[in-house]
Structure 1
Amino acid sequence: MRVMVWNVWWRFGGNWREREESIHATLEAYRPDVLGLIESWSGEGTDQPHRLAAPGGMFAAWAPSSDPPISYGEQPGVACGIGLLSRWPILVIEAHELPNEQHGGPVPTALLATLDHPRGPLHVIVSGSEPDDRYPEDRLAQCRTLAAIATDRRLDGPLPVLLLADLNASTDQPPLAPLLEAMVDTWSAAGADPGAVTFDSSLPYADHKSPHLDDRRIDHVFARPGRAGLHLPVHGAFLAGDRPFGGVYPSDHYAVGVDLEP
């Protein structure tokens, strides 16, 4: 089972149509079974997850989220949120509010979906956390909430529970401690490059305004076994979207992919 997470940078950059073509090409090359999208858009009668899902006959879902806050400028009515693509039908989706008492304002959300996997229900959480370094308490509280959602016993079953998220922190930073206590960082479990980064300051889209994020692996696939005592085999991990298609990089983040045995 190939699982990926990708922050696809909304409609930023002025070339979102060209970037979306590059995103399509990347997905065609890597063919994920499950893909979590952060900063995906919805508007004009459609949304990005469904547009990306259509060529491969995949299923899709989208939910609004306030992280990051968007200044819509020249694109009124185009919302920002989180999305999911799945090889298997999406049975149920839930939107869970995340705490943001320090920042205030609109509430960010996590999307919890149950997929109709042939071996049983597959539970997938897609989310992001507070990107602004002025609100570290919110980021930590959001990671605690995500850990609580992922370890809810009602999600127990034969398949792993997955969290696909841009957490705006690397595994050596304090906000991720609650998740590392509750779940497995599949990148590390795969023995992948510990120096890999997903927010690369050398990308042409890098704005260099977030030194706490630059050149870190801040996008993650976390997982926990469906039940105590079950194994969680991780067969490999990789970065995607780290090269341009047609001269265009797809996003300001690289995607993270992991091959799991369900």
Structure 2
Amino acid sequence: MHLRIVTINVQNREGDKRRLDLLNQELRRLEPDLVALQEVVDDGHLDELLEGTGLHGTHQSAGLPYTPPFVGRYGGNAVACRWPHHIVEVLDLRVAGAADVPWCTVAVKVPLPEVGDVLFISATAAWRLDDEAVREQQALALTDLDARHRTDLPTIIAGDFNAEPDAASIRYLTGRQSLSGRSVHYHDAWAIAGDGPGHTWSVDNANAAALFDQIVRQPGHRRRLDYVFTGSWHAHPRARCEVRAARLAFDEPVDGVWPSDHYGVVVDVDIEIDTPLRALSAGNPSAGSGFVDS
């Protein structure tokens, strides 16, 4: 089955009100199946973003019995899916050092026609430049969340991780280093199929200029912070999720208006069950055995 996945930080309701229409128009044009959205304000914002797309949206507030601080201004995480889905967990990641972060990780199970349920997670990590130790804790919590709810189909995780590919949190997620004596492996879709550096937070974007001036204060700043990850064989031995394409979106102004202070990422994948029985029928008697993560 072919899936199109999009992640975009929509920058809450800051700035030019025309941004909302630009975000909505691009979502309509892209026709995604799974969307991870960050900084969505819980005041009808999600419905406006998704109007006319045919997507079913769920905000983090639907799974929380309380309201995190600052969520009214900076928004929270949300998901949007082509099919009805249900929340399995909303994880509050306000750990020590990031008590003011209102973005909770949203995990939903989505029934894919004729394929089965897939776990889809929208995530945001701590944003400060010196918060990598916090992001490491959040990455560990994120993979624990996946382990609690994953299905046979490879988990899909998308969002704004506020870390470059060589950061410890991203290296951990992609199997290139351990954290706290633990290791995992997910595929970074851009590393597989993206063209170029894939910067999603850039000085070239006028909407980001004020924040760059406030916290970076260096010229020519560009980073890849937004990702789509897919679970690998180690945790999903009976299925596969093959990345076919990865590109940027929401990365151009329209009539001088930028859609957001982040660019989005669009990823196309083919996902399917590949059972041990199928491998056995192909003449491989060792298929389906061996060392497999549960």
- TM norm structure 2: 0.77
Give the Cα–Cα distance (whole angstroms) in 1 for the partners of residues 87 and 18 of structure 2: 32
Whether the 8 Å contact between 1:41 and 1:81 is mirrored in structure 2 is yes
Give the Cα–Cα distance (whole angstroms) in 2 for the partners of residues 121 and 231 of structure 1: 13
Instruction: Identify the residue that residue 97 of structure 1 maps to in structure 2.
Output: 92
RMSD of Structure 2 on Structure 1 (CA): 2.5
The amino acid across from 1:230 in the alignment is A
Instruction: Give, in angstroms, the shift of residue 93 of structure 1.
Output: 4.1
Residues 106-255 of structure 1 aligned to structure 2 (within 5 Å): 108-118=103-113, 119-152=115-148, 154-157=149-152, 159-181=153-175, 182-190=185-193, 192-206=194-208, 207=210, 208=212, 209-211=214-216, 214-225=221-232, 227-228=236-237, 230-255=239-264
Give the Cα–Cα distance (whole angstroms) in 2 for the partners of residues 248 and 82 of structure 1: 23
Match among 72, 76, 81 for residue 76 of structure 2:
81
String of CA shifts for 1:82-108, please: whole Å, max 9, x gaps: 111110111334211225212335665
Could you say which structure has the larger radius of gyration?
A: 2
* Corresponding residue pairs, total: 248
String of CA shifts for 1:99-152, please: whole Å, max 9, x gaps: 521233566521001112111112111110000123332111111211222234
Whether the 8 Å contact between 2:189 and 2:267 is mirrored in structure 1 is yes
RCO (CA 8 Å, sep 6+): is it higher in 1 or 2?
1
Whether the 8 Å contact between 1:6 and 1:255 is mirrored in structure 2 is yes
Instruction: Give, in angstroms, the shift of residue 25 of structure 1.
Output: 1.4
Change (3 A) 1:34 1:106: closer
Structure 2 gaps of 5+ residues are: 176-184, 272-294
Instruction: Give, in angstroms, the shift of residue 69 of structure 1.
Output: 7.1
Whether the 8 Å contact between 1:59 and 1:89 is mirrored in structure 2 is yes
Structure 1 gaps of 5+ residues are: none
SS at match of 2:99: coil
- TM norm structure 1: 0.86
Whether the 8 Å contact between 1:49 and 1:84 is mirrored in structure 2 is no
Match among 2, 5, 16 for residue 3 of structure 1:
5
What percent of counterpart residues are identical?
25
Give the Cα–Cα distance (whole angstroms) in 2 for the partners of residues 197 and 99 of structure 1: 26
Give the Cα–Cα distance (whole angstroms) in 2 for the partners of residues 105 and 210 of structure 1: 17
Whether the 8 Å contact between 1:147 and 1:178 is mirrored in structure 2 is no
Match among 52, 58, 70 for residue 61 of structure 1:
58
